[in-house]
Structure 1
Amino acid sequence: MSAVNPYLTFTDNCEEAFKFYQSVFGGEFPGGIMRFGESPEEFQGGEGEKNKVMHVALPIGKNTVLMGSDSPAGTGAVVKGTNFSIAFSPDSEEEATRVFNGLAAGGQVTMPLDKVFWGAFFGMLTDKFGVHWMVNYDANNPA
């Protein structure tokens, strides 16, 4: 079943924020906290960024997963209040492609939809209304 979840972006305090959310909502981080230093070299950023959070997820309630990451240097300033995306987890690569291309019409692709090192089919874009989207199809880890 396809899913839509909030994705929050922080400058450098994602881990602190998610530990706070965990204290409020309870639960665990499936897969732990992924750090930039654990990724392939081209995704690691500068030396001071290796310990920043690349991805974390916290299930909340029955059908929602709050997700987040720190923003690597060079990707622009994080502005509080607009530091979120909508993460869409489709049921297939075909659905991912259809939705991604539909949302990209008149918008700006920031990361083309493609296979990525964590094994998913992933892309990012800003639609023509300024809404940030992430499309992630992962056959091994459905939402």
Structure 2
Amino acid sequence: MAAIYPYLVFNGNCEEAFNFYKSAFGGEFPYVGRFKDAPSDQLMSPSDGERIMHMSLPIGKTILMGSDSSTTMGDVSAGTNFSISISVDSKEEADKLFQALTEGGKITMPLQDTFWGSYFGMFKDKFGIDWMINHDTNEVAI
């Protein structure tokens, strides 16, 4: 069964925004990763080191997720700063959804095993909506 989560993208102030959301909703961040935590061949730009690569905040039965845009990808603006993130139970389910939803769209990161222990891919569907498909292959909290 797939779970769907909102994924927000910021221009370098993700941590500030998530601390604000935490002050309103409470809770704790199960994971905060910075671009500098990625293997050196994965780092987008040295100036991105302190930017947030991924963080999450559980809110009730859902999880608010977010990251900063990398400087190499450029700034995002309201309306282009979110994705729909789908977490699935198996690689097979990830493959099936990825294939179905990318029809007529543009793949920005093919489904692949990642250094953070997930099977993950990203794309823009034919309607211009950004999606992420994720299957956690380890026990790391999202």
Superposition TM-score, scaled by structure 1 size: 0.93
The offset of 1:76, in angstroms, is: 3.3
Q: For the residues of structure 2 that align with 1:17 and 1:111, how far apart are their CA atoms?
A: 26
1:43 corresponding residue in structure 2:
42
Letter in 1 for 2:26: G
Paired position in structure 1 for 2:94? 96
Number of the residue aligned with 2:9: 9
- After TM superposition, the structure 1 stretch with the greater mean CA deviation from structure 2, 20-29 or 39-48, is 39-48
Deviates more, 1:69-78 or 1:91-100: 69-78
User: What is residue 113 of structure 2 aligned with on the other side?
Assistant: 115
May I ask how many residue pairs the two structures share in their alignment? 141
Equivalent runs, 1:49-68 vs 2, <5 Å: 49-61=48-60, 63-68=61-66
Q: Deviations over 1:87-123 (max 9, x none)?
A: 0001110000000111100000000001010111000
| Runs (5+) with no aligned partner, structure 2 | none
Q: Which secondary structure state, in structure 2, belongs to the residue aligned with residue 21 of structure 1?
A: helix
Letter in 1 for 2:27: G
Letter in 2 for 1:115: D
**2:45–2:72 contact (8 Å) kept in structure 1:** no
- 2-structure distance, mates of 1:104, 1:81: 20
Q: Residue 41 of structure 2 aligns to a residue in which SS? A: helix
Q: Which amino acid aligns with 1:103?
A: L
Instruction: Give the match for residue 126 of structure 2.
Output: 128
How far 1:139 moved relative to its partner? Answer: 3.1
Q: Equivalences for 1:15-30 in 2 at 5 Å?
A: 15-30=15-30
Q: Greater CA deviation, 37-46 or 105-114?
A: 37-46
Once residues 48 and 73 of structure 1 are traced to their aligned partners in structure 2, the CA distance between those partners, rounded to angstroms, is 8
Distance 1:68 1:82 in 2: 13
For the Cα contact (< 8 Å) 2:6–2:85, is it kept in 1? yes
What SS class does the counterpart of residue 27 from structure 1 fall into? coil
Distance in 2 separating the partners of 1:108 and 1:3: 22
TM-score w.r.t. length of structure 2: 0.94
